[in-house]
């Protein structure tokens, strides 16, 4: 089973086929699950019968759903919104609207899924004990084993497993730093992923694991390694967010009269030592009326700039997004995400005091990130 994921770490993941709602949570199914159903039914059916194999895989999917509902219901109880639950070939994941607000919430949400799997395993064992020999008892035994394995494996202390989120919560609680908790749990997850791959090969060589089991375990190991690597990258980037300071990154404004040729405006800015300033257009009274768009300027060939007025590559101020001076950190990042390639007016007391370019922020984060 994959872990519960929050919005920032899950962007780009398409939820899959919508199946309606379960207890108010949107439920989605990946096409890969159909492959899982077919493979498990075919391979297990050759040993225990196709009907039993199909019943087992259906019960397994139901167990995955209950595991994820454990996460989702706990998150809802703690006031954390849930976007939906998705079932896929290696388990499932619950997508939350935001990160857990504190270590305690992180710990409770992360352990809810394995706790459900453990309860299902115990319940399956109790049912298997009282049932007579037959197909139903075989299904109960298989479901019991699957849920107990999931509960134990998911509790391993490494992201993206649920145990990794519990480790992150513990480090967060001790250090007071969520980013450090993510970094530690991500490195632990890489160790778990590598260990799973080594264990898969060893078990195959020794004999207990078949070729199909080897392939499945290698896929799990790769998924763990990849998820842990992504988590480590997210932790590193999260550490750079405090560097975003609107006041420090804002460019000063150099205004030229309306109708000024673009080349002349650039020459005047360079002569005034304002080559890095943001060009703006002012009316006859000196009031700013438009902001020259850097992207539009770059699209004009240098040979044509003496004949192109700045007004033609500028936007009225009312059409440009604005950010308040003093904004920084995560609050500034959320504003910039609304227009990752754009420019923003920096305002203070209803006055434009500078221009913030998202490209400048990206350049800063890349430079600092490369240095880590």
- Average pLDDT, rounded, for the chain: 87
Residue 75, token pair as written in the block: 């998150």
* pTM attached to this predicted model: 0.69
Compute how many other C-beta atoms are within 10 angstroms of the C-beta atom of residue 327. Answer: 19
The domain ranges of the chain are 5-155, 246-370
- Which among 57, 59, 62, 123 has a CA at the least distance from the CA of 92? 62
Q: How far apart (Å, rounded) are the C-alpha atoms in residues 118 and 137? A: 19
Residue range 194-228, pLDDT digits in tens:
999 999 999 999 888 878 778 888 988 998 998 89
Instruction: Please count the residues of the chain.
Output: 372
Residue 18, token pair as written in the block: 């919508």
Q: Any idea which architecture 246-370 has in CATH? A: Roll (3.10)
Residue range 237-291, pLDDT digits in tens:
677 777 788 888 999 999 999 999 999 999 999 999 988 899 999 999 989 999 9
């Amino acid at each position: 089973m994959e872990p519960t994921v929050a919005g920032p770490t899950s962007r780009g993941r398409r939820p899959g086929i919508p199946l309606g709602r379960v207890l108010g949570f949107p439920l989605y199914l990946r096409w890969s699950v159909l492959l899982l159903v077919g493979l498990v039914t075919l391979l297990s059916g050759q040993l225990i019968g196709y009907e039993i194999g199909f019943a087992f895989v259906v019960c397994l999917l139901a167990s995955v759903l209950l595991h994820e509902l454990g996460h989702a219901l706990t998150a809802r109880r703690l006031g954390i919104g849930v976007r939906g639950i998705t079932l896929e070939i290696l388990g499932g994941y619950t997508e939350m609207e935001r990160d857990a607000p504190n270590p305690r919430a992180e710990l409770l949400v992360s352990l809810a899924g394995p706790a459900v799997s453990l309860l299902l395993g115990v319940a399956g064992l109790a049912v298997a004990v009282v049932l007579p020999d037959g197909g139903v008892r075989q299904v109960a035994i298989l479901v019991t084993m699957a849920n107990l394995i999931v509960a134990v494996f998911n509790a391993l202390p490494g992201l993206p497993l649920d145990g990794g989120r519990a480790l992150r919560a513990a480090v967060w609680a001790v250090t007071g730093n969520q980013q450090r908790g993510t970094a530690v749990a991500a490195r632990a997850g890489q160790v778990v992923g590598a260990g799973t791959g080594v264990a898969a090969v060893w078990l195959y060589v020794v004999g207990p694991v078949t070729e199909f089991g080897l392939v499945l375990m290698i896929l799990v190991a790769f998924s763990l390694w990849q998820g842990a690597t992504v988590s480590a990258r997210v932790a590193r980037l999260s550490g750079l967010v405090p560097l975003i300071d609107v006041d420090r990154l804002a460019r000063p404004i150099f205004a030229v009269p309306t109708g000024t040729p673009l080349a002349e405006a650039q020459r005047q800015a360079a002569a005034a030592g304002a080559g890095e300033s943001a060009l703006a257009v002012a009316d006859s009274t000196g009031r700013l009326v438009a902001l020259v768009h850097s992207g539009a300027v770059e699209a004009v060939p240098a040979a044509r700039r003496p004949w192109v007025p700045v007004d033609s590559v500028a936007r009225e101020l009312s059409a440009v997004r604005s950010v308040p001076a003093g904004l920084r950190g995560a609050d500034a990042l959320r504003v910039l995400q609304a227009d990752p390639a754009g420019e923003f007016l920096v305002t203070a007391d209803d006055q434009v005091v500078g221009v913030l370019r998202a490209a400048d922020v990206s350049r800063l984060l890349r430079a600092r990130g490369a240095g880590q």
